[in-house]
Copies of this chain bind each other. A is one copy, B any other.
């Protein structure tokens, strides 16, 4: 490809709404163009990256025995009504009507359609297992689309669905996908972690996220640097930090703590470490039938810890959702404004749940349920009844690994893949069964497996960029090599040397572009640093006089002078090492 025949149109400035590096850089490099909120055109440079990602995903899915099909973007409401998701799915599900006023959705995922296909196609145990996948345009009507491809509305996803005779076989299908995903992210050239994760709205009993490590990631990953343990912080078990509860040594004392509505302020006023304080969070769960009263809960975590919302949602009694209690409810049940709440002297209308660590604290500090006052020297059993105990908090860096080996660390990640063990969640609702060897109908066991193709492009940039632009891993770079032919129009020597190298690289199957544009070298170099092509070769008259070319590896930065005759082997070696 000659650059003069390609479309290269870089911008000096990123649009003001671009908040993250990937959005800024992809826009500046001319890889994407916004058409509407969260809806982009992939320009030729951007599409090349997307296709390379797609191809790696496709190859590994095929190798893993999955069969590619293509399900439609527009799907009939009836199937979504059969599973109940027509009502349950939030406003992200774009519901539309055709000319005959029939209801459809723009697919954000395809569990319904694929299960419908399978219940029609699969009748016998002989036809199982099978794994169908497609790479297709998805639509999720985000309330506030942002971050470019990271949280767009229209995006490309690979979603696979496995169908098995029984749970053991389904687990095997899950493991095959887990391994395929590992190979995919290795081949993409990204630093990533597979982390145990919550199953969320998709349902099912087991799941892993594939997270690309990046400081700008929205997710927090808890991992043990000494083992292979890794989990999303939503799920990661937080250990009790106090092996045994100590016997009380202090008296219960009510102390004035004016304006100290947060643990940090209380600790400061009382000149005590933050880890001696206990934080109170008041939640309410509403009755299902509007008849009963809301149940009020007091959740306690240590002053330096945070409540984990996903863990709370799994507590007994919280199955149907929860909310923060209103100020009025807090006044009713605690006789006090928020900021000074605690478990001492509460009526039995409030259920107290303490985090594991809090349950082992002694002589601790908590709110006195009286504005402007806290208790010190609080002890379980003596001053307040023993609470229910649960894992309520987020892990923090330095926590011991609950398995006993080493300590936990935290890093941020971008979720680009997710594998779910679904069991019979969907097959039951859609009655997808097969006849077993005895001729008896059995529910098919399912798994589902997503990879955000367009999101990977953004995540790769979040992980790999500098102040000059993107730094693509070779496998998904828009081009592997760029030859910058300086003074192309006027120098026959430059034309000859650069075309020769260009043809040599092409003959090796290397994806190369020759920049023959009539622009200043500074502009040309800045363009390719922004676009982030792994290897740049500069061909200029001055160097050619000494039979030299200049080669720069984008990830390293420095220029190296190489003999023209050695350029080819130097470049292929440089690429091979990436």
> How far is the CB of A392 from the nearest CB of chain B, in Å?
34
Please measure, in the bound complex, the distance between the C-alpha atom of A74 and the C-alpha atom of B41, giving whole angstroms: 11
Can you pick out 8 interface pairs between chain A and chain B where the beta carbons lie within 8 Å of each other?
A: A39-B75, A42-B69, A43-B117, A44-B68, A47-B68, A72-B137, A74-B139, A74-B154
> Pick the contact of A75 from B33, B35, B72, B143 — CB < 8 Å?
B35
Which residues does chain B contribute within 8 Å of A366, judged by CB atoms? Answer: none
Please measure, in the bound complex, the distance between the C-alpha atom of A42 and the C-alpha atom of B134, giving whole angstroms: 10
* Identical chains bound together, number: 2
A116 at the interface (CB under 8 A from B): yes
Please measure, in the bound complex, the distance between the C-alpha atom of A113 and the C-alpha atom of B41, giving whole angstroms: 9
| One of A2-10, A183-191, A198-206, A399-407 at the interface | A2-10
> How far is the CB of A225 from the nearest CB of chain B, in Å?
40
| One of A96-104, A209-217, A493-501 at the interface | A96-104
A503 at the interface (CB under 8 A from B): no
Decide if B47 touches A70 in the complex (CB within 8 Å).
yes
What are the 4 A-B residue pairs with the smallest beta carbon separation, nearest first?
A: A36-B76, A42-B70, A96-B96, A44-B67
> How far is the CB of A153 from the nearest CB of chain B, in Å?
7
Would you give the 0/1 interface string for A122-151, flagging 1 where the beta carbon is closer than 8 Å to chain B? 000001001010001101010100000000
A578 at the interface (CB under 8 A from B): no
Please measure, in the bound complex, the distance between the C-alpha atom of A39 and the C-alpha atom of B78, giving whole angstroms: 14
Which residues does chain B contribute within 8 Å of A94, judged by CB atoms? Answer: 96, 98-99
> Pick the contact of A69 from B43, B67, B96, B120 — CB < 8 Å?
B43
Which residues does chain B contribute within 8 Å of A99, judged by CB atoms? Answer: 91-92, 94, 141, 143
Please measure, in the bound complex, the distance between the C-alpha atom of A73 and the C-alpha atom of B155, giving whole angstroms: 10
Contacts A35-B113, A44-B67 known; list 16 others, CB within 8 Å.
Answer: A6-B67, A9-B127, A30-B121, A35-B71, A35-B76, A40-B72, A41-B117, A73-B139, A74-B106, A74-B154, A92-B99, A94-B96, A94-B99, A96-B97, A99-B141, A136-B137
A441 at the interface (CB under 8 A from B): no
Interface centre among A33, A36, A50, A136 (most CB of B within 10 A): A36
> Pick the contact of A41 from B44, B47, B72 — CB < 8 Å?
B72
> How far is the CB of A140 from the nearest CB of chain B, in Å?
10
> How far is the CB of A136 from the nearest CB of chain B, in Å?
8
Please measure, in the bound complex, the distance between the C-alpha atom of A433 and the C-alpha atom of B313, giving whole angstroms: 57
Which residues does chain B contribute within 8 Å of A137, judged by CB atoms? Answer: 72-73, 136-137
A345 at the interface (CB under 8 A from B): no
Decide if A39 touches B74 in the complex (CB within 8 Å).
yes
Q: Which residues 5-20 of A have a CB within 8 angstroms of B? A: 5-7, 9
A65 at the interface (CB under 8 A from B): yes
Please measure, in the bound complex, the distance between the C-alpha atom of A41 and the C-alpha atom of B76, giving whole angstroms: 12
> How far is the CB of A54 from the nearest CB of chain B, in Å?
11
Decide if B72 touches A154 in the complex (CB within 8 Å).
yes
Decide if A7 touches B47 in the complex (CB within 8 Å).
no
Would you give the 0/1 interface string for A318-348, flagging 1 where the beta carbon is closer than 8 Å to chain B? 0000000000000000000000000000000
Report the nearest B residue to A45, measured CB to CB.
Answer: B69
Please measure, in the bound complex, the distance between the C-alpha atom of A153 and the C-alpha atom of B100, giving whole angstroms: 13
Q: Which residues 37-91 of A have a CB within 8 angstroms of B? A: 39-44, 46-47, 50, 65, 67-76, 91
Please measure, in the bound complex, the distance between the C-alpha atom of A75 and the C-alpha atom of B42, giving whole angstroms: 14
> How far is the CB of A80 from the nearest CB of chain B, in Å?
12
Which residues does chain B contribute within 8 Å of A113, judged by CB atoms? Answer: 35, 41
> How far is the CB of A339 from the nearest CB of chain B, in Å?
37
> How far is the CB of A7 from the nearest CB of chain B, in Å?
6
> How far is the CB of A90 from the nearest CB of chain B, in Å?
9
Decide if A7 touches B130 in the complex (CB within 8 Å).
yes
> How far is the CB of A21 from the nearest CB of chain B, in Å?
22
Please measure, in the bound complex, the distance between the C-alpha atom of A121 and the C-alpha atom of B72, giving whole angstroms: 32
Which residues does chain B contribute within 8 Å of A117, judged by CB atoms? Answer: 33, 41, 43
Q: Which residues 446-498 of A have a CB within 8 angstroms of B? A: none
